[in-house]
Amino acid sequence: MSTLTEPLDRNWLQKQWRHVRLWRRFFAQAVVRETHYRAHFLTTLLVGLVQLGLGIVPTLLLFGFTQDVHGWSRAEVIALVGVYQIVTGLIATFVAPNMNRMTSYLTEGELDVVLLRPVSSQFYLTLRWINVAELTNVASGIVVLVIGLVQSDLAPGVGQVLQAVVLAGCGLVLLTAVWSAMSFLAFWLQSVGPIGVVYLSMVEAGRYPLVFFPVAVRTFLTFAFPVAFATTFPVRALAGDLNWWPVALGVALAVVAMTLVRLLWRRGLLTYSSASS
């Protein structure tokens, strides 16, 4: 039996496992909460389907006049819209509910309570809330992706699927890191609500292939705001157009980005003064 003087975790691995178990409780609470608001679930599903349809319509209009645009067929662009729907659905499920609360955490004293908890404060503030209903958009995105792959006659192998999954995962981590860094500016700016609106508007660029943009914008969407890793690169991987170098680059950028975000969080905490004092 543990005592009050016994350390909560004996080593680093036990500490990480405790965070995993805590996140599982967050997810279970989110599922129970969603069952109490079924209208919200249906509304989210309908809104997601409308947004998905609005994303496909421009593609159908564009390819009504041509069979190929900068090497992309209509079916490949539809697959890209599916990947975009999956990634944005995951962001809306796990990232947005927390980033949108960052201002209130810092200005209304909620961070004071979080700092007293025996968990990483950064982990708690960035993963506490989950919007389960948005997973319906992930499911609809998978359906559209499969339709696009079937229409384009692509039959990716195991290696290509693995490349696409890793690239999409890196893209999701990179986009989360960018939004986290922008939200952590609340330590100095107090309010970062408008920054979230700008971020979501920029993510819209991922709905289109990277080659549709000028070279300067392509560079920006690859390294400064790396939405290309989340959408364009995974589809090119499924088409067999990529080797493992972009995958290695995505993993390296994700590690660097998360390290920088961690340092920014620690720097922000040094400047934080209790809002309730």
Q: pLDDT per position in the chain (277 positions), as tens?
A: 444 445 566 677 887 888 888 899 999 988 888 777 777 778 877 887 887 777 778 777 777 777 788 888 888 999 999 999 999 999 999 999 988 887 777 777 778 878 888 888 888 888 889 988 888 889 889 999 999 999 888 788 899 999 999 999 999 999 999 998 888 887 887 776 777 788 888 888 888 899 989 999 999 999 999 999 999 999 999 988 888 999 999 999 999 999 999 999 888 888 877 655 5
Please name which of 269, 102, 103, 79 lies closest in space to residue 161, comparing C-alpha atoms: 79
- The alpha carbon of residue 251 and the mean position of all alpha carbons in its chain are separated, in whole angstroms, by 15
Task: Indicate the SS3 state at residue 228.
Answer: helix
Q: Cα–Cα distances in Å, from 256 out to 101, 239, 250, 261?
A: 25, 28, 10, 9
pLDDT at 277: 55
pLDDT at 7: 56
Amino acid (one-letter) located at 178 = V
pLDDT at 107: 73
pLDDT at 8: 60
Judge if pTM exceeds 0.75.
yes
Listed in sequence order, the DSSP H helices in the chain are 12-35, 38-62, 74-90, 96-99, 102-107, 110-115, 121-127, 135-151, 158-184, 186-189, 193-203, 215-219, 232-238, 245-271
Q: Which tokens in the block code for residue 254?
A: 């994700």
Neighbours of 79 (CB within 10 A): 27
Report the C-alpha gap between 47 and 160 in whole angstroms: 32
Amino acid (one-letter) located at 247 = V
* Contact predicate 235/246, CB 8 Å: no
Q: Is 94 left (phi over 0), alpha (psi -120 to 50) or beta?
A: alpha
Q: Which tokens in the block code for residue 116?
A: 């007293």
pLDDT at 276: 57
pLDDT at 91: 92
DSSP state letter for 117: S
Amino acid (one-letter) located at 105 = Y
* Contact predicate 84/55, CB 8 Å: yes
Phi first, then psi, for residue 45 (nearest 5°) are -60, -45
